[in-house]
């Protein structure tokens, strides 16, 4: 049995969990190809035109898996953290229904719904339901779930040790990777959702460009969860979305920490939650006099444009450092 | 204290009375204009939706006119509008305004917080006086909704063009002048009579269109180009699915939306925030009730409505009901909207004709 997993959205945050679970239950895992122009074009074709690029890309990745998998995993994460008052972006919540309504002739979707706010349907129950759907025995489900959980924890440990997701995935699961970045003086915090930061197609190779310029890049995932949680108090009211809270808290952590030269907010054109997130980070950075730049991505984003903006920003940072 | 609040349709008539009854001086928000919008867009994040920009512009205008306290509503997500209060306050502070910013969160989720804030606004008033003020305001909101609903039924069939609009202006004055429960009851009857007295052409069978979408854009005529009146003038009966009083009720202690969510279930079985799920459910219900079409109104980049738009394509095909989606932002022009409405109306007329011929 082949299970398709789209290489986007929750991929960078939860792949070890999905992949290990399916592998351990004897399924074959097919991951969609790396993001490319072809995938993007299919996404643009099938997704509603007002959606942001990550949602369009998700449609493209699902399309990419259409004829290669017996089932496609479309995780519907509602609440997957200890905080009770948050969910994911509404577009994530309705994603399965959007996919179902937009792309014809799909193999069955695994509608994996996690809402830890409901006590009766814990994580474990949801994995059981998913296993039953695939006809796997309860014992194997249980064992695979345990292994998957452990794998997710070790993945997070790797990231907290300042590894990029690609490096960590390669180490743990043999996934494709990028070369390790050299460590040099100028340090930037790049904050944004994992599906934008780590997908080198959609961000026009931003990370490797920064690495090539000899810049050390820090991301919110590299901050240990406990320290992130502490920063929640800095805002009068939590944001409603898990990834957004992570980004804002990560940004505040690095700004408070004071060991960065500047902060880059990476966002998608028309991203709803980011209109709030961006302004919060901007105001916070302004107060602490930390240089801030926002890079907004869409299907027309070109490498040259991103590079020019990054170079100008980095030049400014170097100038600023020399001056002080 | 000089208090202001957001502008939302005709609700200002009720809130003005509430603030005066609580012993404060209302700074009336101006009807949002192009100036309001450009002021708001200037200071708002680029991709915030149009309600955010309009509200920010309205606050800035009211602050210039001497407001000392802003009262607005909060929310618990996942629609981002629930966070607007926090960000508005941060932006205003960054601009150097030192204003009292009171965000009323849903009382069932944050009871203590709600009562504390209510106490701040009502300080110095006795409990019965506060209760009287709140309950008359509630009554006024309901009356406004009812009268407006009547006007939308009258407009497409009026014999003298624009008469309903003229009568409605008079109605707003009458309701604005009513202060006690008894007065409001009388004003409702009076307005009802005025509207009934409008001569109608009974032979006209207007097209029936349901209006769904995001609450602020649906309720604020200054943002949606007064679409219900526009449709009425084009001879279409426009029924809107959201009323402020109902919405407030459903989102505090009472649950009145269950049947709509039920209707949405086959297509969208998840609450996606804002009015996303209700938009899908209401489209199903409109089609069951024999409406000729549905118009979805939403701000550009509205998250829940993008989800429902994507699903409405399927609903429209399955249930054979045309759906027109209008996303509105600061670039939207009235002529563009009007052209699209005209085309949509033509489509609905020819569908109706085709169906009648098919029956014969």
Total domains present in chain A? 2
Residues A88 and A195 both lie in one domain: no
Q: Is the pTM of this model over 0.80?
A: yes
Give me the DSSP letters along B88-157. Answer: HHHHHHHTT---EEEEE--TTTSHHHHHHHHHHHHTTS-HHHHHHHHHHHHHHHHHHHHHHHHHHHHGGG
Residues A168 and A187 both lie in one domain: no
Domain boundary among A172, A189, A220: A172
> pLDDT digit string (tens) for A141-198?
888 988 998 999 999 888 888 888 888 888 787 644 334 444 446 889 999 999 999 9
* CA–CA distance, A99 with A105 (Å, rounded to integer): 11
* CA–CA distance, A243 with A224 (Å, rounded to integer): 15
Residues A137 and A241 both lie in one domain: no
Cα–Cα distances in angstroms (integers) from residue B38 to residues A146, B41, B43, in the given order: 55, 5, 9
Contacts of B252 (CB under 8 A, 6+ apart): B106, B107, B108
Residues A270 and A312 both lie in one domain: yes
Question: Taking CB atoms and an 8 Å cutoff, what residues of chain A touch B271?
Answer: 93
Residues A120 and A153 both lie in one domain: yes
Residues A163 and A205 both lie in one domain: no
- Confirm or reject contact between B310 and chain A (CB < 8 A): yes
Beta-bridge mates of residue A264: A190, A293
* CA–CA distance, A41 with A39 (Å, rounded to integer): 5
Whether residue B49 and residue A275 make contact (CB cut-off 8 A), yes or no, is yes
> pLDDT digit string (tens) for B122-176?
877 888 999 999 999 999 999 999 999 899 889 999 999 889 999 999 999 999 9
- Confirm or reject contact between A274 and chain B (CB < 8 A): yes
At residue A182, the pLDDT reads 42
* CA–CA distance, B207 with B221 (Å, rounded to integer): 21
Nearest CB to B48 within list A91, A239, A275:
A275
CATH number for the domain that contains residue A294: 3.40.50.11900
Q: Minimal Cα–Cα distance from B277 to chain A, Å?
A: 9
Question: Taking CB atoms and an 8 Å cutoff, what residues of chain A touch B311?
Answer: 94, 97-98, 101
Nearest CB to B306 within list A51, A86, A101:
A51
* CA–CA distance, A269 with B117 (Å, rounded to integer): 37
Give me the DSSP letters along A299-313. Answer: TT--HHHHHHHHHHH
Axis-axis angle for helices B84-94, A272-287 (nearest 10) = 30
> pLDDT digit string (tens) for A289-307?
999 999 999 988 888 999 9
Residues A166 and A22 both lie in one domain: yes
3-state secondary structure of B299: strand
Residues A243 and A262 both lie in one domain: yes
Whether residue A94 and residue B46 make contact (CB cut-off 8 A), yes or no, is no
Residues A58 and A185 both lie in one domain: no
Residues A203 and A287 both lie in one domain: yes
Range of the structural domain that residue A231 is part of: 181-323
Domain boundary among A145, A172, A199: A172
- Confirm or reject contact between A44 and chain B (CB < 8 A): no
Residues A24 and A146 both lie in one domain: yes
Residues A95 and A191 both lie in one domain: no
Domain boundary among A122, A153, A172: A172
> pLDDT digit string (tens) for A25-83?
888 999 999 999 999 999 999 999 888 899 999 999 999 999 999 999 998 888 888 78
Whether residue A88 and residue B78 make contact (CB cut-off 8 A), yes or no, is yes
* CA–CA distance, B137 with B143 (Å, rounded to integer): 10
Whether residue B47 and residue A88 make contact (CB cut-off 8 A), yes or no, is no
CATH for the B2-125 domain, from 3.40.50.11890, 2.40.110.10, 3.20.20.80, 3.40.190.10: 3.40.50.11890
Nearest CB to A94 within list B77, B90, B272:
B272
Tallying the residues shown for chain B, one arrives at: 360
Whether residue B267 and residue A86 make contact (CB cut-off 8 A), yes or no, is no
Q: According to the CATH classification, is domain B206-360 in 3.30.1220.10?
A: no
């Amino acid at each position: 049995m082949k299970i398709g997993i789209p290489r986007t959205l929750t991929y960078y945050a939860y792949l070890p969990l999905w992949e290990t679970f399916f592998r351990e239950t004897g399924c074959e895992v097919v991951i969609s190809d790396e993001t490319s122009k072809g995938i993007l074009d299919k996404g643009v074709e099938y997704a509603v035109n007002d959606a942001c690029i990550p949602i369009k890309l998700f449609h493209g990745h699902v399309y990419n898996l259409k004829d290669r998998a017996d089932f496609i995993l479309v995780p519907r994460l509602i609440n997957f953290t200890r905080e009770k008052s948050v969910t994911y972006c509404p577009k994530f919540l309705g994603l399965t229904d959007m996919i179902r309504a937009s792309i014809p002739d799909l193999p069955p979707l695994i509608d994996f719904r996690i809402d830890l706010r409901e006590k009766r349907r814990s994580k474990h129950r949801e994995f059981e339901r998913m296993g039953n759907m695939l006809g796997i025995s309860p014992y194997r489900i249980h064992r695979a779930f345990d292994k998957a959980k452990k794998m997710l924890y070790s993945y997070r440990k790797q990231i907290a040790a300042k590894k990029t997701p690609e490096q960590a995935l390669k180490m743990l699961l043999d996934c494709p990777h990028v070369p390790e970045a050299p460590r040099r003086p100028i340090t930037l915090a790049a904050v944004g959702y994992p599906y934008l930061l780590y997908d080198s197609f959609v961000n026009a190779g931003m990370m490797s460009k920064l690495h090539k310029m000899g810049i050390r890049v820090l991301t919110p995932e590299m901050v240990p969860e406990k320290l992130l949680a502490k920063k929640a108090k800095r805002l009068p009211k939590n944001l409603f979305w898990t990834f957004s809270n992570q980004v804002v808290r990560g940004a505040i952590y690095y700004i408070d920490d004071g060991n960065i030269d500047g902060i880059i907010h990476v966002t998608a054109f028309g991203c709803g939650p980011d209109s709030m997130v961006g302004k919060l980070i901007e105001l916070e950075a302004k107060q602490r006099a930390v240089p801030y730049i926002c890079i907004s991505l869409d299907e027309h984003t070109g490498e040259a444009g991103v590079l020019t903006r990054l170079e100008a920003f980095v030049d400014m940072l170097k100038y600023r450092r020399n001056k002080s | 204290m000089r208090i202001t609040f957001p502008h939302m349709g005709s609700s200002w008539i009720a809130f003005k009375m509430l603030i005066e009854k609580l012993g404060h001086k209302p700074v009336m928000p101006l009807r949002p204009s192009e100036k309001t919008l450009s002021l708001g867009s200037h200071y708002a994040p680029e991709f915030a939706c149009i309600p955010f920009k309009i509200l920010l512009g309205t606050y800035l205008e009211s602050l210039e006119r001497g407001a000392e306290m802003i009262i607005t509503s909060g929310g618990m997500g996942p629609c981002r509008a629930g966070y607007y209060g926090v960000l508005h306050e941060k932006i205003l502070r960054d601009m150097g305004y030192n204003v009292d910013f009171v965000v009323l969160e849903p009382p069932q989720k944050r009871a203590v917080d709600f009562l504390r804030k209510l106490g701040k606004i009502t300080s110095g008033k006795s409990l019965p006086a506060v209760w009287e003020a709140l309950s008359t305001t509630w009554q006024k909101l309901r009356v406004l909704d009812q009268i407006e609903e009547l006007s939308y039924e009258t407009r497409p069939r009026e014999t003298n063009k624009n008469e309903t609009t003229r009568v409605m202006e008079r109605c707003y004055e009458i309701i604005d002048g009513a202060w006690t429960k008894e007065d409001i009851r009388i004003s409702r009857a009076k307005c009802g009579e005025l509207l009934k007295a409008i001569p109608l052409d009974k032979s006209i069978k207007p097209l029936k269109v349901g209006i769904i979408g995001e609450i602020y854009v649906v309720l604020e005529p200054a943002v949606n180009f007064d679409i219900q009146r526009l449709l009425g003038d084009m001879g279409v009966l426009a029924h809107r699915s959201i009323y402020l009083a109902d919405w407030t009720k459903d989102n505090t202690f009472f649950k009145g939306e269950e049947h709509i969510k039920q209707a949405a279930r086959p297509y969208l079985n998840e609450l996606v925030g804002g009015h996303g799920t209700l938009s899908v459910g209401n489209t199903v219900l409109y089609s069951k009730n024999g409406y000729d079409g549905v118009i979805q109104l939403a701000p550009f980049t509205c998250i829940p409505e993008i989800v429902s738009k994507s699903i409405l394509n399927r609903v429209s095909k399955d249930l054979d009901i045309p759906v027109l989606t209008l996303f509105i932002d600061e670039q939207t022009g009235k002529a563009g909207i009007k052209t699209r409405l005209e085309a949509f109306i033509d489509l609905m007329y020819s569908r109706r004709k085709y169906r009648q011929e098919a029956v014969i």
